[in-house]
């Protein structure tokens, strides 16, 4: 549209529109397509022209032009494909065109001389066309394979003598391969339409394939005498493979060898698959299952035995990156029920006997009980024979007994002639039942046909020893009684593994000592009978291997025993704990002594230890000083708000065993005091090792004593030594003194040979609650060095123990100035002497090592370490008749 008005013009033009529909194919062998095209050009024009120069005339011209062209081109084609290489096609097309033209003209004048004219023009056009075509196509593919291959290989080997005992052998191989293939394809098409034209089409296709392969390998072998050889092999293959392998064989003696193999192959199409893990069918009844951790994809690897002198380095390497290599090694172990069947465990009558439906014994290694009359399934128990390092069926790995399987458990103990039971779980953990109590607390009880009576029970800090007398009551009379010892390890935490392997190694040695060589298999059980049970068995076996072969093979040993019971050693954390225990045993060995051998051992320690020209005692203590201080576990003590509460900045309690007090309302960090819980010989957290109170921490000191119900305090320093303040006086000389909410009153004091005893009354709060606290102040420690004799220390330890028996065995507060040197010495001696009285054994080194793992710098000097030995010797001399103090 065009409008003229005083020199202004506006225009508009329409557009053409197209609409297409294409491709409908409902069947794979019948193809149908429809194409519709609608080009629609549209134009419209209007002209209005007033002429201002013709004042008295008016001319109006109107022109309307409408052109519509409708040209649909519907095309329908139908193609039918036959199983033979022949195609039949039918095509139909339709075309329609419409055109319309309209013109209008008008002229008007006010004068009579002018005329009025009007014209209309209309034009319509219609076009229709139809075409039909028929086509036949024949496609023939004629593959003509033509193959040509050429291969050339060249190898060169060159021995090079470098010296009389050193030889170098170089081998180089080059391989070349050429492959050629040819393929021919032929296609013929004929098209016939209603028009007289005829079309013929012929196509020819040729395919050519060329393959080239080049391979290069280099081998280098270095030999230094018959005992050392190094071989390096490099292989390059184009275009897909690159492989490098290194093999080292080192033989130092007939009994020690170190093979090492490293290989890597790169393949652009390499894929990793998830290991398949299948379980036997679970029981139909709802039961708790053991969580089997997801295994990350891991390529199959070979892990060679480790020489003992490389164990420390190998453990450190595997522990790096949060134990990544330990996880890889653990994930390469055989898993799942791949070594046998579990048909007996899956029988309907036996499913309820399994604590976990996915932890079952193999048929070939299960313990078979004697069948009871009239009960065909009475021979089943969830237990498996496990080999030791040299002894077959040394162990029986079993699940923790259920209430309805306790009788079967004791029947197994009797029939297998077992003398030792190893229990590695508590009855409840995380509020879940892990094992039914299968023994009486006191007296006797009958389980099935077995009568069990408790003989005695000894509770230690890491384990409890129970002795039972059992008798089998058969139909033909009661059998002679037997003694069975249960060693119950109580220090395994609900999560993870023990913090240190020291307790487990002591426990293992006790098991070996207790078990008779003539007894039947040792029964080991936790809850499921796989995780902790397997860990214990592997530590025992690999330590024996260490003695026999001077090497360890954890991977091989676990793989072997998993042939007898699936999933033994259940987690990578348990797997790495095995290495920690083996390393602890290798580095420090067995340092336990019998009291009768103490004098000879002391003589050996005080002699020069060649070739280092150091006294053996110094060498032993140096191992303790080399222990790493875990500064990352001192976060609370190093907070700026708590730093002023520490007397010595190098002695900060570890976060995992620091004494935590209640937080004062609105006062942050008021739960901190520089104090650590320390285990005793029989009881965890039996001591509180702390620094001498500062003037601004006295209230915290008494608050700790009140909240943890402490009745005994041991002080091992004077208030001042060498003109330096060592401890603030936190008790009154007479009457009473108040520190915040706490009032301390002096009730009386007693002076002994080397220490004094103060009876204090501690009063708290508005309710005036009171508590008696006995304060033992040792005066026999000189300002420099150590006490001249051990009797004073023996006496104060005995007095504190008597007080504890009367007051209820709540934690004993022990402090010197920093809470490490003299404090550690007192606690070490308390534990050592307690064990000497109970067992006639001592282990000064491991006792001090355990203390240093609980608080840094415990037993600070080699003189204090030597003092521990001398006090024990004085104790033995005083009570020369062992029966008098046992």
pLDDT tens, residue by residue, 95-122: 555 554 455 544 444 444 444 555 555 5
* Residues 583 and 547 sit within 8 Å (Cβ to Cβ): no
505 and 645 together in one domain? no
Query: Of 73, 105, 138, which closes a domain?
Result: 138
Q: How far apart are CA 645 and CA 728, in angstroms?
A: 13
Cα–Cα dist 75/90, whole Å: 11
Residue range 401-423, pLDDT digits in tens: 999 999 999 999 999 999 999 99
pLDDT of amino acid 633: 96
Average of pLDDT values for 569-585?
A: 97
Q: Give the DSSP per-residue string, 712-733.
A: EEEE-S-SEETTEE-----S-S
Query: Which of 208-217, 285-294, 823-832 is modeled with the greatest confidence?
Result: 823-832
Mean pLDDT of the chain: 77
Q: How far is CA 99 from CA 40, 103, 752, in A?
A: 10, 14, 133
Residue 637 lies in a domain: yes
Determine the pLDDT at residue 69. Answer: 45
Write down the pLDDT at residue 613: 52
Most confident of 50-64, 293-307, 795-809: 795-809
Is 796 a member of any domain? yes
The percent of residues in the chain predicted with pLDDT above 70, rounded, is 65
Residue 219 — pLDDT band, cuts 50, 70, 90?
very low
Q: Is 612 part of any domain?
A: no
Q: Which residue has the higher pLDDT, 714 or 135?
A: 714
**Is the whole model's pTM more than 0.85, yes or no?**
no
Supply the DSSP symbol for 883: G
Q: Of residues 342, 710, 816, 868, which has the active-site annotation?
A: 816
Span 622-645, average pLDDT: 96
Query: Do 633 and 554 fall into the same domain?
Result: no
Q: Is 191 a catalytic residue?
A: no
Q: Are residues 627 and 571 in the same domain?
A: no
Report the C-alpha gap between 742 and 299 in whole angstroms. Answer: 65
Q: Output phi, psi for 597, to 5 deg.
A: -100, 5
**Catalytic one among 342, 435, 526, 727?**
526
Residue 665 sits in the same domain as residue 576: no
Collapsing DSSP states into helix, strand and coil, what is residue 190? strand
User: CA separation (Å) from 443 to 125, 288, 405?
Assistant: 120, 33, 21
CATH of the domain at 749: 3.90.190.10
Q: Kindly state whether residue 320 falls inside one of the protein's structural domains.
A: no
Please say if the pLDDT value at position 608 is more than 50: yes
Query: Which structural domain, as residue segments, surrounds residue 877?
Result: 617-884
Residues 664-676: tens digit of each pLDDT: 888 889 999 999 9
Residues 205 and 133 grouped into a single domain: no
- 201 and 112 part of one domain: no
SS3 738: strand
Q: Comparing 746 with 249, which gets the higher pLDDT? A: 746
Examine the domain organization and report whether 48 and 133 are in the same domain: yes
Burial 646-670 (b: 16+ CB within 10 A, else e): bbeeebbbbeebbbbbeeeeeeeeb
Residue 374 confidence (pLDDT): 85
pLDDT value, residue 366: 97
> Rounded to 5 degrees, what angle do the CA atoms 688, 425, 569 make?
110
Q: What's the token pair of residue 816? A: 């010197």
Top-confidence residue, 318 or 72 = 318
Mean pLDDT of all residues in 526-544? 98
Which of 217, 247, 266 is a domain's end point? 266
pLDDT at 476: 80
Burial 257-280 (b: 16+ CB within 10 A, else e): ebeeeeeeeeeeeeeeeeeeeeeb
Residues 243, 388, single domain; the answer is no
Structural domain ending residue among the three candidates 247, 266, 285: 266
Same-domain pairing of 123 and 179: no
State the pLDDT at residue 666.
Answer: 83
Q: For the segment 684-728, what is each residue's pLDDT rounded down to a tens digit?
A: 999 999 999 999 999 999 999 999 999 999 999 999 999 999 999
Q: Which residues pair with 782 in a beta bridge?
A: none
Strand 30-35 relative to strand 198-224, pairing: unpaired
740 part of a folded domain? yes
Instruction: Tell me: do 152 and 124 sit in the same domain.
Output: no
**Is 816 an annotated catalytic residue?**
yes
pLDDT at 750 over 50: yes
Residue 379 pLDDT exceeds 60:
yes
> What's the confidence (pLDDT) of residue 68?
43
Please report the pLDDT score of residue 291 as a whole number. Answer: 59
Q: Does the residue 106 lie in any domain?
A: yes
Looking at the fold, whether 644 and 555 belong to one and the same domain comes out as no
Q: Domain check: are 114 and 224 in the same one?
A: no
Number of domains in the chain: 4
Residues β-bridged to residue 278: none
**Angle separating helix axes 791-807 and 862-878, nearest 10 degrees:** 80
Residue 204 has pLDDT above 70, yes or no: no
- Residue 174: per-residue pLDDT: 54
H helices of 464-518, in order, are 502-514
């Amino acid at each position: 549209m065009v409008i003229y008005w005083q020199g202004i013009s506006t225009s508009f033009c329409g557009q053409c529109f197209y609409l297409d529909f294409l491709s409908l194919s409902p069947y794979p062998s019948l193809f149908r397509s429809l194409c519709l095209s609608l080009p629609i050009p549209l134009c419209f024009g209007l002209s209005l022209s007033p002429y201002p120069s013709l004042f008295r005339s008016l001319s109006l011209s109107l022109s309307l032009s409408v052109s519509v062209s409708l040209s649909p081109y519907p095309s329908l084609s139908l193609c039918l494909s036959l199983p033979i290489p022949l195609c039949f096609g039918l095509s139909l097309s339709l075309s329609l065109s419409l055109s319309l033209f309209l013109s209008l003209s008008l002229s008007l004048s006010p004068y009579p001389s002018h005329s009025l004219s009007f014209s209309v023009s209309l034009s319509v056009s219609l076009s229709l066309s139809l075409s039909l075509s028929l086509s036949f196509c024949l496609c023939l593919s004629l593959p003509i394979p033509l193959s040509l291959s050429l291969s050339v290989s060249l190898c060169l080997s060159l021995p090079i003598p470098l010296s009389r005992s050193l030889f170098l052998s170089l081998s180089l191989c080059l391989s070349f391969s050429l492959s050629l293939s040819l393929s021919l394809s032929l296609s013929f098409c004929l098209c016939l339409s209603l028009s007289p034209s005829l079309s013929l089409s012929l196509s020819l296709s040729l395919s050519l394939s060329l393959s080239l392969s080049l391979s290069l390998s280099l081998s280098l072998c270095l030999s230094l005498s018959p005992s050392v050889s190094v071989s390096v092999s490099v292989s390059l293959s184009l275009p897909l493979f690159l492989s490098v392998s290194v093999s080292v064989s080192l033989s130092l003696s007939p009994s020690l060898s170190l093979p090492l193999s490293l290989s890597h192959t790169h393949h652009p199409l390499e894929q990793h698959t998830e290991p398949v893990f299948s379980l036997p069918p679970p029981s139909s009844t709802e039961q708790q299952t053991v969580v089997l951790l997801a295994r990350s994809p891991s390529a199959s690897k070979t892990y060679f035995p480790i020489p003992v002198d490389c164990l420390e380095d190998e453990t450190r390497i595997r522990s790096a990156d949060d134990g990544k290599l330990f996880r890889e090694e653990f994930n390469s172990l055989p898993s799942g029920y791949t070594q046998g069947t579990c048909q007996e465990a899956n029988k309907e009558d036996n499913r309820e006997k399994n604590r976990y439906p996915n932890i079952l014994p193999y048929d070939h290694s299960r313990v078979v009980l004697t069948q009871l009359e009239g009960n065909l399934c009475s021979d089943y128990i969830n237990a498996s024979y496990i080999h030791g390092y040299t002894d077959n069926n040394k162990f029986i790995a079993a699940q923790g007994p259920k209430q309805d399987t306790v009788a079967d458990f004791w029947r197994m103990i009797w029939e297998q002639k077992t003398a030792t039971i190893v229990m590695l779980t508590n009855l409840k953990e995380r509020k879940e039942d892990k094992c039914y109590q299968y023994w009486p607390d006191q007296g006797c009880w009958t389980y099935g046909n077995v009568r069990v009576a408790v003989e005695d029970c000894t509770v230690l800090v890491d384990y409890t020893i129970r002795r039972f007398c059992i008798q089998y009551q058969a139909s033909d009379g009661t059998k002679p009684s037997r003694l069975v010892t249960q060693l119950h390890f109580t220090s395994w935490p609900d999560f993870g593994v023990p913090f240190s392997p020291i307790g487990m190694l002591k426990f293992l040695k006790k098991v070996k000592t207790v078990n008779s060589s003539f007894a039947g298999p040792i029964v080991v059980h936790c809850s499921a009978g796989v995780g902790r049970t397997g860990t214990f068995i592997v530590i025992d076996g690999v330590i024996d291997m260490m003695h026999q072969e001077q090497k360890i093979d954890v991977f091989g040993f676990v793989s072997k025993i998993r042939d007898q019971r699936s999933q033994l050693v259940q987690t990578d954390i348990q797997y790495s704990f095995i290495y920690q225990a083996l390393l602890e045993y290798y580095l420090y060995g067995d340092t336990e002594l019998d009291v009768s051998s103490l004098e000879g051992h002391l003589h050996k320690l005080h002699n020069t230890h060649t070739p280092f020209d150091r006294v053996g005692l110094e060498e032993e203590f140096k191992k303790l000083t080399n222990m790493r201080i875990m500064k990352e576990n001192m976060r609370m003590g190093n907070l700026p708000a708590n730093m002023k509460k520490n007397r010595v900045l190098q002695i900060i309690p570890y976060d995992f065993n620091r004494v935590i007090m209640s937080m004062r309302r609105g006062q942050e960090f008021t739960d901190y005091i520089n104090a650590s819980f320390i285990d005793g010989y029989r009881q965890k957290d039996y001591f509180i090792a702390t620094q001498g109170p500062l003037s601004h921490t006295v209230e915290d000191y008494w608050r700790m004593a009140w909240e943890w119900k402490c009745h005994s305090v041991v002080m091992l320093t004077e208030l001042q030594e060498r003109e330096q303040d060592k401890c603030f006086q936190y008790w009154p000389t007479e009457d009473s003194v108040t520190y915040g909410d706490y009032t301390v009153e002096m009730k009386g004091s007693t002076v002994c040979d080397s220490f004094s005893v103060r009876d204090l009354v501690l009063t708290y709060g508005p309710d005036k609650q009171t508590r008696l606290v006995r304060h033992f102040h040792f005066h026999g420690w000189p300002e420099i060095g150590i006490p001249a004799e051990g009797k004073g220390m023996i006496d104060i330890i005995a007095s504190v123990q008597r007080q504890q028996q009367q007051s209820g065995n709540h934690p004993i507060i022990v402090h010197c100035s920093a809470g490490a040197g003299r404090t550690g010495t007192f606690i070490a001696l308390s534990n050592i002497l307690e064990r000497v009285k109970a067992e006639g054994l001592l282990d000064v080194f491991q006792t001090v090592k355990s203390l240093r793992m609980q608080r840094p710098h415990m037993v600070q000097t080699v003189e204090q370490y030597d003092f521990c030995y001398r006090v024990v010797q004085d104790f033995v001399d005083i009570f020369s008749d062992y029966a008098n103090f046992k």
